[in-house]
Amino acid sequence: MRKNLILVGLPGSGKTTVGRLTAARLGLSFADCDTLIETAEGMTIPAIFDRKGEPYFRAAESRILADLCGGSGRVIATGGGAVVEEKNRIIIKRSGFVVFLDRDIGDIAGCVGNRERPVLRKCTLAELAAQRRAWYLACADAVVDGRTAEELAERITEIWRKV
């Protein structure tokens, strides 16, 4: 079985939605890192940030990501900040074929509320994009853009079938 198909990108770029669609098209299992963190911690990501802080969240994220990337044959939606930690970038790159969802910030902004995304309480989406873009690109084996989740899933499916 092939390694994993791993999606990276900004918060709100569609990793979860596109990941589910792509997994269904390819007949692979789907795993969402953020959902697994919330399940393991018994609280939402904003609550984790508020009660335990970002360093605690990043450590939990690293543990979950390492566990997910240890398997194969699944589509994995990482958290938008998974690439912040160098050890995560190494795990992501070694564990599968990585696709950066490089959506237009204007398209993402309509999907993202600052209250739901703790990192956006401190900066704008454009600032976050500037901070993280090089990390996303360093991990990526492919870069896709598009306006809809269906369009992105179709492009990723075509790429995956060729690798």
Q: Locate the domains of the chain by residue range.
A: 4-162
**110 has a pLDDT exceeding 70:** no
What Rg value do the Cα atoms of the chain yield, rounded?
15
pLDDT of 4 reads 97
Distance between CA atoms of 27 and 30, rounded to whole angstroms?
Answer: 9
Q: What are 29-74's pLDDT values in tens digits?
A: 999 999 999 999 999 999 999 999 999 999 999 999 999 999 899 9
Q: How confident is the model at residue 6 (pLDDT cuts 50, 70, 90)?
A: very high
User: CA angle, 82 as apex, 40 and 43 as ends, to 5°?
Assistant: 25
Residue with tokens 């900040």: 81
Residue at 32: amino acid letter: D
Question: 105 with 60: CB under 8 angstroms?
Answer: no
Burial bucket for residue 135 (CB in 10 Å: 0-12, 13-18, 19+): buried
At 130, is the pLDDT very low, low, confident or very high (cuts 50, 70, 90)?
very high
Residue indicated by tokens 């990276």: 8
Cα 146 to Cα 163: distance, rounded to the nearest angstrom: 21
Give pLDDT, residue 114: 43
Residues 107 and 77: their CA atoms lie apart, in Å, by 19
111 has pLDDT over 70: no
pLDDT for the residue numbered 61: 95
Mean per-residue pLDDT of the chain: 90
Token pair belonging to 140:
């990526």
- The percentage of residues in the chain with a pLDDT greater than 70, rounded to a whole number, is 91
Could you confirm whether domain 4-162 is CATH 3.40.1190.20? no
pLDDT of residue 12: 87
Measuring CA to CA, which residue among 65, 139, 158 is closest to residue 97?
A: 139
Six-digit token string for 89: 């970038």
Predicted confidence at residue 117, as pLDDT, reads 65
> What pTM was computed for the model?
0.92
